[in-house]
Chains A and B, each alone.
Chain A
Amino acid sequence: GQNIDQPTEMTATEGAIVQINCTYQTSGFNGLFWYQQHAGEAPTFLSYNVLDGLEEKGRFSSFLSRSKGYSYLLLKELQMKDSASYLCALNTNAGKSTFGDGTTLTVKP
């Protein structure tokens, strides 16, 4: 299996930095996705890590360590609109994705 674990909920303050962790157990995968999903809406793509290391894209960065079975999404300069669910997903053969249950982030003023 590809057990994917994420914290269920996190709370942070506007303007702060938050790190959302994702751990997994799998025999192999092509890469790891992070998606953002607002309530009642479809997931939208944030980042994709294939190699170990940090990928930076504006206020969002994503990190992958294959040897540790670990990834994180880092959100800087938090804004109220960042309140959403953040989904970690493994990209396996044929591009099929296996998702974690998501982390619901609440940004408070």
Chain B
Amino acid sequence: DTGVSQDPRHKITKRGQNVTFRCDPISEHNRLYWYRQTLGQGPEFLTYFQNEAQLEKSRLLSDRFSAERPKGSFSTLEIQRTEQGDSAMYLCASSLTGGPSETQYFGPGTRLLVL
């Protein structure tokens, strides 16, 4: 257990539905990252926050995806009008600016299946 938690751990939804995932980072960490991972591939960067500011968003992230970190603590990732191609593991990670190597600590992930 790295101290990063994600909820839910698993989500099955029908195509076209909206889903929202939550991530609670390690409390003193100011950076929070969202990644997506599909089978046989490494995690793929989606977006990251420093405190409450969203500083970068991958070009791979379509307009159906939105992320927030309103108080600089927990974050949510919402996917609107889900598609089968959105099926993946969604990983959250947190780090401390200036911390040792800025190592990212990953949560257990939310596994999404879109039917």
Contact = CB atoms under 8 A, between A and B. Distances in A.
A33 interface: yes
A87 interface: yes
Interface stretch (A12-20, A63-71, A74-82, A92-100): A92-100
Contacts of A4: 42
Contacts of B95: 95
A94 B42 contact: no
B106 A43 contact: yes
Contacts of B42: 4, 87, 89, 99-102
Contact of B101 (A31, A42, A98, A102): A31
Interface residues of A, number: 23
29 contacts: A4-B42, A33-B103, A41-B109, A42-B91, A42-B107, A44-B2, A44-B106, A45-B104, A45-B105, A48-B101, A87-B42, A87-B43, A89-B42, A91-B101, A91-B102, A94-B50, A95-B33, A95-B48, A95-B95, A95-B104, A96-B56, A97-B104, A98-B45, A99-B35, A99-B42, A100-B42, A101-B42, A102-B41, A102-B42
